Amino acid sequence: MSSQTELLGPPQTPPEPRRATPKDRAQRKRRPNRIAPALYLFPLPAVALLAVFFATPLLQAFQYAITDWDGFSPTFNYVGLDNFTRALTGDTLFTNALTNNVKFMLVVVVFQTAFSLILALLLTKNSRPNIVLRALFFFPTILSSVSVAFIWKFIYDPNFGLANSILAAIGLEGWQSAYLGDSNLALYWVAITQVWFHAGQMMVVFIAGLQGIPRELYEAAEVDGANPWQRFGAITWPMIAPAMTIVVAYTTVQSFKAFDLILAIAGNPPKASLDILSTRIYSTFANTEYGYAAAQSVLFMAMIVLVTVLQRRVLKLTQKSE
């Protein structure tokens, strides 16, 4: 052992690394970075598409909204805010569509959110029966709006439709209805169709939120003697706040964009009891009033933004009070 030590000599310690001097740091700063400039090129295709297909049409909508352009003439006149004044104060068709859309939105948001949350609470566990039921409830979402409209037109048919046939079979003829033929209730029957159409989609969002809640919180609440309602109010409701915000905002936008469902189920143009903002704007465009239709579209967009912001604030206040 001593002979090996004599041959190898004493153990040598590795030299300490040289510390960077100010001169080294200055040279490193002056060295060109060839990667950083290239990173700015990656978002350019997305920005270009956004500018061409979103920003430009949006700016043109604001431009046409203050004109009397008919969509075909090479020239037009600027009319200022006359189109907006006409829509809000002098057009009964637009105000009727606005009222219908608010009613439709309220019914759909309340019932679709509640129904999808109940389904999510019942089907949260990843058991095989629950997975099958989730797929069944989600299935309507993959159908087209036209297919859903024709299915429910058959259900609502007052003469040979499924709804009245079932009521007659169980002896509830007094509950039979004209459904879409009833001007006072037609909008609410279409709202039920919208809820059936998208509740399964919102259920998936709620299930994702529920499965992200730590189980230890429920176990601790059970040890403290909390009942199911207390656990829901103290744990579930605050913890699904992000999912609730997404569901309410998305459902609101869906209720304002139910153009294809309304048009397929009620015909073109729909009668006054089923006319909503999107179908009213479409009819205005079809009447070659492009400037006026653009003004209606701007009001439509502003209303969606306003309602969504108000909903977010109400949800935040509700969750803070809990």
Tell me: pLDDT of 188 over 80: yes
φ/ψ of residue 198, rounded to 5: -120, 0
pTM reported for the whole predicted model: 0.78
| Residues 17-36, mean pLDDT to the nearest whole number | 60
Rounded to the nearest angstrom, the gap between the alpha carbon of residue 134 and the centroid of all alpha carbons in its chain is: 20
Q: How many Å apart are CA 11 and CA 240, to the nearest integer?
A: 63
Look at residues 154, 94, 112 and name the one whose alpha carbon lies nearest to residue 275. 94
**Alpha-helix residue ranges (DSSP H) falling in 10-68:** 22-30, 36-39, 44-50, 56-65
Domain 86-321 sits in CATH at 1.10.3720.10
Q: How many Å apart are CA 180 and CA 66, to the nearest integer?
A: 37
- Asked if 159 and 153 touch (Cβ cutoff 8 Å), the reply is no
pLDDT score recorded for residue 318: 61
- Strand, coil or helix: what is 78? strand
pLDDT score recorded for residue 6: 53
Averaged pLDDT of the chain: 84
pLDDT score recorded for residue 114: 93
Task: Show the tokens assigned to 3.
Answer: 């002979």
Q: How many Å apart are CA 303 and CA 101, to the nearest integer?
A: 11
Angle CA(253)–CA(255)–CA(257) in degrees, nearest 5?
70
pLDDT score recorded for residue 306: 87
Task: Show the tokens assigned to 237.
Answer: 């409701």
190 — pLDDT class (breaks 50, 70, 90): very high
Tell me: pLDDT of 176 over 80: yes
Q: Which contiguous run of DSSP H or E holds residue 147?
A: helix 145-156
Rounded to the nearest angstrom, the gap between the alpha carbon of residue 88 and the centroid of all alpha carbons in its chain is: 26
Q: What is the pLDDT of residues 112-160, one digit of tens each?
A: 999 999 999 999 888 888 999 999 999 999 988 889 999 999 899 888 8
The ranges assigned to domains in the chain are 86-321
pLDDT score recorded for residue 22: 64
Q: How many Å apart are CA 287 and CA 281, to the nearest integer?
A: 10
Q: What is the pLDDT of residues 59-94, one digit of tens each?
A: 888 888 999 888 888 888 898 899 999 998 888 999
Residues above pLDDT 90, as percent of the chain: 30
